[in-house]
Every structure is written in C-alpha cells, then in structure tokens.
Chains A and B, each alone.
Chain A
Amino acid sequence: MKLSQIISGVIKVLLYFILTVGVITVLIPFLWMLATAFKPYTEMFKLPISFLPKSPTFQNFVELAHTFPLPRLFFNSFFIAGVACVSSVFFATMVGYGLAKFRSRGLNIIFLILLSSIMVPDFTRVIPLYLTMVRLKGDNTYWGVIIVNYLSIFGIFLMRQYAMAIPEELLDAARIDGASEPRILMEVAFPLLRPACVTLLVIKFMWVWNDFLWPLVMLREPKMMTLPIALSGLKGLQVIRYGPLMAGAVAIVVPVAVLFLFLQKYIVRGIALTGFK
C-alpha cells in the first residue's frame, strides 16, 4: 500500500514536471520576443542571455511608429476583421440554423456540399479570386479583402452544431403563437445562440486578424495594409533591426492574445465542438 502511494506520488511529480518543461519550451520564443522588444539597442547583443531587460525602454516602439503609420494599420486591421466578424456571425447563424432545424433531403445535400469545401485550401482559389477582384476594381480595397470573408464554412458548421441543441418545442410554441420563421430566428433562436455567436466572433476575429495570403496579394499600398501584412515587409529591408521588428510582433500578438485570454472558454468550446464529430 505504501509503495504504491510512493509510486503514484512520483508519477504525479513527473507528470507536472514534463508538462511544465513543455510549457516553458513553448513559451520561450514569446518571452524572447518580449525581452528583445523592451531592450535598448546596446543590450540586445549582450552575453550572457537575459530575459529581463536591465534598462527597459520603449525606444523600439517609437522607432516602429516612425517607420509605419501604426494608427492607420491598427485601424485597417480592426476594421477589416470587425466587419468580417459581424457579417460572418449574422450569415452563419442564419445558414447554420436553417441547416439544423429545417431538415430535408435537399438541405442535407446542401450541407454535405458546403462541408466538402473544407478540403479545398485557400491557395487553390487565390489566383482566380485575385484576378476577378482586379477586374471588379476590388484589389487594394477594404471590401475586396472583406467580401471573401463574409461567411465561412467553419462558421456555418459551428452554428449548425449549436443550433441542433435548440429544443424543437420552443420553436413550435412560437409557431403556434403565429410568429413568422424569420421572427423565430431573430427572437427565439438568436438569443439562445448568443454563446455560439461569441465563439464564432472571437475565432473569426483571430482568423482574419492573422490572415496572410489573401490580404498579402490584395493590399498593395501601405496605407491600406493590415498590421501583419505591413510588418511582413520589414524583413526585406537591408539591415534587419530586430528591436523594432520584435516591437512589431508584440503589436500584432497583444490584441489577439488579450482577446484569447479573456474569452478562451468560448474558443476552447468552439474548437472542441467543431474539431471533430
């Protein structure tokens, strides 16, 4: 009895040890980013390595703000991600609810067809979509970047999963009261789907905020670019200034990281729900 207790104790300690080492390994590049971003130029190349700046400074951020129109870039990123989010939540709720609650052969087939597009990666569509957008004068515009993101299959799938859990009796009760189907969607289903909407909102925001290939080909002028797209150009400069570069990485990561830390229970549920099944 005693021996088995010791063994299980040792296993417990080992478990936490492995997991903690794993976490530290995963976090080290982030810590290094933070350390570099707040270090003055002279300290950056010093040995031994230190994760704590001796004399922390905002110099790198100032330099970054001199190189880029930061407020404009933040606005672009927030605007593009924001509009895409709202539109995506609205339409995904509508479609997902329709697929979940009006079961018929036709709708099932539509669902399967929609789902099949998960196997079609973005880059198979990027050339034709880009050429089409150029013809429609949509390149280098906000709407050109946003319109492709007005809805996503992931969103439809997520909302459908949640909508299936809405009790049929609630909807029938509203129908008996004479409510029209759009009113039932807006006034009965939508409030019940609010947690799902938050989930989709957060995941979609992170997705569009970090989206790379599509805005990269679409946005040419610096004043139209999203934050990551503008900063991806920093690399190509002759002399790479790692300080401002890390400050830039911090600027990209912090908004989404904060969003994630506050709303992570929604994200985790959303991923767990759509990740399989």
Chain B
Amino acid sequence: MGVKISREKWGYIFVIPGVLWYGLFMLYPMYYAIILSAHRWMGVETNPLFVGLDNFKEIFTDSLFYKSTVNTFYFTFISVSLTTFTALFIAILLTKVIKLRAIYRTFYFLPSVAGVVAVGIIWTWCYQPTFGLFNRILQVLHLPPSRWIMDPRLALFCVAITQAWMRLGFNVIVFLAGLLTIPEQFYDAAKVDGASGFHQLIHITLPLARPIITFLLIYNTIYGLTVFGEVYMLTEGGPGSATYTVAYLMYETAFRYSRMGKGSAMALFLFVIILVITVIQMKFFERRTQIEY
C-alpha cells in the first residue's frame, strides 16, 4: 500500500457512487427542470426561447390543466383511502390468523408484482362494456350494465380502483410487518383488564400503528398524485377530459406536443403540491402522536 488512507476517508470513498447518482440524476435534472420551465422549447432540434413565467401563466389559465388538477386530487383521495384502509383492515385480520397467513399474504401481494402495463391490459378487458367481466357478472346478478371507464362520471373512480387493487398488497405487507412488532404483553395486559377486542384495537393497535399509517398515507399520496401509467393504459385521459391527471397532461404536453418548457412547469407545480401535502401530513400526524403519549 502506497498512500495510507484514513478509515474515515474510506467511508467517503464508498459513498461516492451515491453522491454521484444524486448529483447526476436528482439535483441536475431538478435544476434543469427549473431552467426549462422558464423557456419555450419545442424539442431538441429547435432553440429554446426565454419566456420568464409565461409557461406558468399559460398553465394556470388553461382549463384542461385546472380540470387535471381537480381530477388528480379526487383520484388521490379515492385511491389512497381505499388502499390504506382496506390494507389496514386486512393486515389486522391477518395478525389473528397464524396458519394460512403466509399464503394469504402471497395472494394479496400478487397484483403488485404485475406492473402497470399488464394491470392496465387486464383491467381494460374487465371494464370492457359489452363482453367485459364486470358487466357479465352484473348480468348474472340481473343488474343493469355499466359503461365503467367509458362513463365520464365513473371513469376516474374506476382508474382509482385499479390503482388501489395494484397497491393493496404492498400496503398489507408493510402494515402486517409493523403490527406484528407490537409486543404481545400489551394485549395480555389489556385482556387482564377485561378489554374487548374492539377496545384493544382502538387503544393499542391503532395508536401504536400510527407511524406506519402516517408513512403509508404519505407514500400512497405521492403515488396517487403522480398517477400516470394507469391513466395511459386505461383511458388516455378520456372520455373527454374526465380522467386527465396532471402527470398524464404533463406527459402529453412534453412528449406528444414537444412543449418541453410547459411540461416542466407542470412537473414543478405538481412537485410543489407533493412537498406541501407531505409536510402537512407529517405535521398533522406528529402532533396527534405527541398528544397520544
């Protein structure tokens, strides 16, 4: 060994690939996105033109962008509540089951493995109005058929269900892992005091699971706000503009109409929204937790 490198320095050397990744694929693109958002640019062959805040002015007066923003919030609310609370419910049930727990968990997780393209293909077929699975089931039950993703009032809800279906398993695994770390003694003590199962749920399980609930709510919210693949595969924003979301509109703006600057402005807008909502969620749940203990 020629030059002796101190131990602490080795720590920094090992971390270099991480710092490099962060700089190249995180910091630099963010910086570049901000620059882009102040330019009008129709793709690589043309020259960018500095337009200041015009892109933002344009998107904030665009009715489709407004619609997409409202849709995104509605979608996120449905998808996140469905995913999180169904998963919590299933995970709580699974803590009571010992023998078949692993098998149930496997099955619940399977949709998360499939990926958004396969899921989109499968659900398009299920929602298909004439021969799709769901309408055939309704037919068997002698119920009137629905147009599902072709119905402007229902389409966004259908897309949210699809996302919830896909995300459920991941949520179940995280909840279950968390719930199983709650020490058994807590429950034993509660039983001695004569607390019912419901009381144990309210006073032990849920308060102690709050950090996981917070984490998953935040995580699922980010996931919901950035929904793109599900929309692309199921509805492409339609019918009309019923299922346009900000991320989908951004994709269309940048990659179908080559409006790179306008697309970047949308991306930054959504990023800020995510940041604000995440901070609010963190603050809200932190305070509640402090009161609890």
Contacts and interface: CB of A to CB of B under 8 A. Distances in A.
B200 interface: no
A128 B261 CA distance: 10
Contact of B275 (A36, A119, A212): A119
A97 B14 contact: yes
Given A123-B226, A212-B229, A276-B174, A129 B25 contact: yes
Interface string B252-288: 0011000010011001101100110010000000000
Contacts of B168: 26
A206 interface: yes
Interface residues of B, number: 93
A264 B21 CA distance: 29
Nearest to B226: A121
A252 B93 CA distance: 31
B117 A125 contact: no
Contacts of B53: none
Given A249-B118, A256-B113, A271-B173, A26 B165 contact: yes
Interface in A219-277: 228-229, 231-232, 234-235, 240, 242, 245-246, 248-249, 252-253, 256-257, 260-261, 264, 267-268, 271-272, 275-276
A127 B110 contact: no
Interface string A179-193: 011100100000000
B121 A209 contact: no
A253 B118 contact: yes
Interface residues of A, number: 90
Interface of B: 1, 5, 7-8, 10-15, 17-19, 21-22, 25-26, 28-30, 32-33, 36, 44, 90, 93-94, 96-97, 100, 104-111, 113-118, 120-126, 128, 131, 133, 136-137, 139-140, 165, 168-170, 173-174, 176-178, 211-212, 215-216, 222, 225-226, 228-229, 232-233, 247, 250-251, 254-255, 260, 263-264, 267-268, 270-271, 274-275, 278
Interface of A: 15-16, 18-19, 22-23, 26-30, 32-33, 36, 44-45, 47-49, 91, 94-95, 97-99, 101-104, 106-107, 110, 113-114, 117, 119-132, 134-135, 148, 150-151, 156, 180-182, 185, 206, 209-210, 212-213, 217, 228-229, 231-232, 234-235, 240, 242, 245-246, 248-249, 252-253, 256-257, 260-261, 264, 267-268, 271-272, 275-276
Given A44-B131, A107-B15, A131-B44, 12 more contacts: A23-B108, A29-B122, A33-B121, A98-B12, A98-B15, A123-B226, A127-B267, A185-B14, A246-B122, A252-B115, A257-B113, A257-B114
Top 3 A-B pairs, shortest CB-CB distance: A102-B11, A210-B115, A98-B14
